[in-house]
Amino acid sequence: MTSIPIFRTVADMRAQVQDWRTDGLSVGLVPTMGGLHAGHMALVKAAVKKADRVIATIFVNPTQFGAGEDLDSYPRTEDADVAMIAQAGGAGVFVPSVSEMYPEGFATRVEVDGLTNVLCGGTRPGHFNGVTQIVSKLLNQSQPDMAFFGEKDWQQLAVIRRMARDLDIPVQILGVATVRDEYGLALSSRNGYLSAAEIDVARQFNVILKKAAYAIGTGGIASEECNIAAEALLAAGFQKIDYIECRDSDSLEPVERLESQSCRIFGAAFLGKARLIDNHLVA
């Protein structure tokens, strides 16, 4: 089995990245919260293709979880995660503690306005502030040439791109296509909260969203198609719909009819102990 270094402190991780840079190597960063699956591996593999050295991070970031969310039960599987990262070609893993990332007296916020008030930001207040706080720290700490994020969390990707642009962080933010199971269910660490029967229901999420995306793409009115999709999800067995909305891919402004813009249908819905999200291009 390939073994790769695990860095627990910012100083150790930085020293390694600086050595790579001195040797003229490009560096790719793959931030994760662990609980890794094939979707994360696609990020590492995409990074390995583009960068000379890839460092993945594993940190369950407490500041992006709201009260009553799954911070305590979020999967923590460090040994298996490190083995998977090594297998996929990662050159190192950064696994800091909470006190390493948020030392006593930590007081700084990073907030992207606008993009974070809609979709998941509407029902998970403060979530994206936690994401931008931790991702800006990881980017500053490692100073990679590029950083990779999954398109399943499309809004997160849009927020991080905007943050990097607004703060002139010298990094390329790259999105990687969602990895799905053979029925089209987007892979997610939170799928692990579902029973076998619930997984069958969850597989309808992608089917229903894609149907709505097709209807909007062929002239349907977005709000009507989103309502139809929400009803279909409830009928399929989802307990509650958080949102089903069609929005511009970059600005995340609402879209009612597909014209020349690029837009996507976004969904979040509750099933058993999980809140699932997904999105599809409307074309």
Could you list the active site residues? 40
Summarize as ranges the residues that interact with ligand PAF (CB under 6 A): 31-33, 61, 64, 131, 134-135, 153, 156
Cα–Cα distance for residue pair 59/171, rounded to 1 Å: 20
Rounded to 5 degrees, φ, ψ at 253 are: -75, 150
Closest-approach residue to ligand PAF (CB) = 31
Nearer to ligand PAF, 163 or 269 (CB): 163
With tokens 């709201």, the residue in question is 66
Give 4-63 as a DSSP string: --EE-SHHHHHHHHHHHHHTT--EEEEEE-S---HHHHHHHHHHHHH-SEEEEEE---GG
Task: Name the minimum Å distance from CB 269 to ligand PAF.
Answer: 19
Task: Name the minimum Å distance from CB 59 to ligand PAF.
Answer: 6
- Report the residue count for the chain: 283
Nearer to ligand PAF, 130 or 220 (CB): 130
Q: Would you put residue 272 in left (φ > 0), alpha (ψ -120 to 50) or beta? A: left
Task: Name the minimum Å distance from CB 27 to ligand PAF.
Answer: 17
Task: Name the minimum Å distance from CB 90 to ligand PAF.
Answer: 15
- Nearest CA among 255, 196, 201 for reference residue 225: 255
Nearer to ligand PAF, 25 or 118 (CB): 118
Nearer to ligand PAF, 16 or 32 (CB): 32
